[in-house]
Amino acid sequence: MVTMDLKHIFNELHYEIVRKIAEGGMGVVCEAQQRGIGGFTKVVAIKLIKEEFSAIEEFKNNFIGEAKLVADLIHTNIVQMYHLGQIGEQYFMTMEYVKGCNLDDFILKHRETNQKIPIDLAVFIVSRLTRGLAYAHDKCDTKGNNLGIVHRDINPKNVMIAQEGDVKITDFGIAKAFEEDNSGDLKDLMYNEEGYSIAGKDEYLSPEQARCEVTDNRADLFACGIIMAELILGENIFEGNDSEETIQFILEKPIPDFGTLRTDLDEKLNVILHNALQRDREARYQTAQEMLGHLEFYIYGGGYGPTNEKLAVYIKDLMGPDGENAAERWAYGDTPGL
């Protein structure tokens, strides 16, 4: 909850809290107006962590690590980070305000209205997702050292679609990445128990995550394959009745012939889906750039294909007359327990 005292302090920092977007057990996300001289204003999103969680060293370090990581990820397909601050013992981030819906709501709306997502738009959305991941995976520090970024939590709630049709990745809260320490060696930027515990949402885990193995960028590509299949079929192919069954399905359930499940899906896209969903990561797409190339050739190889503008028009039609309100059912990732 944002108290009157906190609102007053934010005002002193030149942020006017406009409204609460979402609240969870660990924090709150608000829309705010950032003010400057000469009547300058900018709409931003503020993620504020509750004081008791800011006091937990592991959580605090991860929150700071996420802000430091995303601050240097300047890309149209990644939600931008502007500032990390502290009020008393509470930490907050200011981020790009994206008016739109997350991919989970996008899928849910189609289920509620018994509609199928057009295949070209499904592929386009995942192509923009892999475009952002290609940038993040290839990101290097000032000395040319690859940061080894793996998002590890690519799922529909962490993918946003702006009303203008831009697709954006958010919530790098459990990402794996490196930074240079004082001695010049690379160390984990955020607390990481990889190899000992599972990180990520069960239904979107790669097989290596499900087995508690050390991951690399190819884990994110398996999640992209799951999302593309869900966009096309309207359901997650691995979701079971509980966590244990879901993980078993990820490790063992046969990957279907997608053309038999949706008749307007051709063999070329079926091959792309199977390449993304190879359980052996050596047989999977090796880079996001490679997967992006295949997706873009699929949708643009014959000439004109989908654009941000086409997706924007589709979202407006999908949401209907109450679209402006319906499109607000998102949160900036799951880190605050939203």
**Active-site residue list:** 153
> Are the C-beta atoms of 299 and 123 separated by less than 8 Å?
yes
**Residue 135: strand, helix, or coil:** helix
**Residue 160: strand, helix, or coil:** strand
**Residue 97: strand, helix, or coil:** coil
| Strand extents, DSSP E, 143-236 | 159-162, 167-169, 178-180, 186-188
DSSP 77-88: TBPPEEEEEEET
Who's near 265: CB < 8 A, 6+ residues apart?
A: 119, 232, 258, 259
Alpha carbon distance 96, 89 (integer Å): 24
Cα-Cα end-to-end distance for the chain: 13
> Are the C-beta atoms of 111 and 102 separated by less than 8 Å?
no
Nearest to 82 by CA among 72, 180, 90, 282: 72
For residue 195, CA distances in Å to 13, 69, 199, 214, 240 come to: 41, 22, 10, 5, 24
